[in-house]
Amino acid sequence: MPTIKILAFAGSSRKESYNKKLVKIAAEGARARGAEVMFIDLADLSMPIYDEDLEKRDGMPPNARKFKDLLIAHHGFLISSPEYNSSISALLKNCIDWATRPQVGVTEPPLVAFSGKVAALMSASPGALGGLRGLVTLRMILGNIHTVVIPDQVAIVKAHESFNADGTLKDEKQRASVEALGQKVVTLAAKLHG
């Protein structure tokens, strides 16, 4: 069986993002299950807001292609998504939008970056719902672009009080739940791609 490769990222560009800390914990769970995990920071992949006129004129921006290639190269995703006004961040939506676009001159199946991939969702927020409402939107988007999203998810409430200085979670049960998300993505990806 090939090594399962998992891409981990958060829909936040903030340096001290709770969601970046959270997805790194899930990544540890995936590594413990034997996966090769790569964490990327979307802040390092700056790309313009999707615009069809821009796309026709200039083609796919280099960082959008880089992100799409990373998605293609992995069997599954760990995504931690902040909640912005009951939905997902513009950053995350924009990255997904670009990655669904075909590139002129490149022959590849539709939705190749997402179709048949496995994803686990999580969120962290200072609020009382932990970013849970945004995960509904993200689950719908990914399902519509043919990604298998596992049913389990974790939302960390009062995130500003939940992490230690080193980025770990204070609550061991929460930590175990987040690591389990990473393990479940690997298990399902191995069944689908093994």
Q: Residue 92 above 90 pLDDT? A: yes
How confident is the model over 54-66, as pLDDT tens digits?
A: 999 999 999 999 9
With beta carbons less than 8 A apart as the criterion, state whether 171 and 18 touch.
no
Task: Name the strands in the sheet holding 36-39, side by side, starting at the edge strand that comes first in the sequence.
Answer: 36-39, 5-10, 76-80, 118-124, 148-156
With beta carbons less than 8 A apart as the criterion, state whether 100 and 141 touch.
no
pLDDT-based confidence at residue 103 (cuts at 50, 70, 90): confident
With beta carbons less than 8 A apart as the criterion, state whether 4 and 189 touch.
yes
Q: Residue 193 above 90 pLDDT? A: no
How confident is the model over 137-167, as pLDDT tens digits?
A: 999 999 999 999 999 999 999 999 999 999 9
Mean pLDDT computed over every residue of the chain: 95
Domains of the chain in sequence order: 5-193 (3.40.50.360)
User: Across residues 74-94, what is the average pLDDT?
Assistant: 96
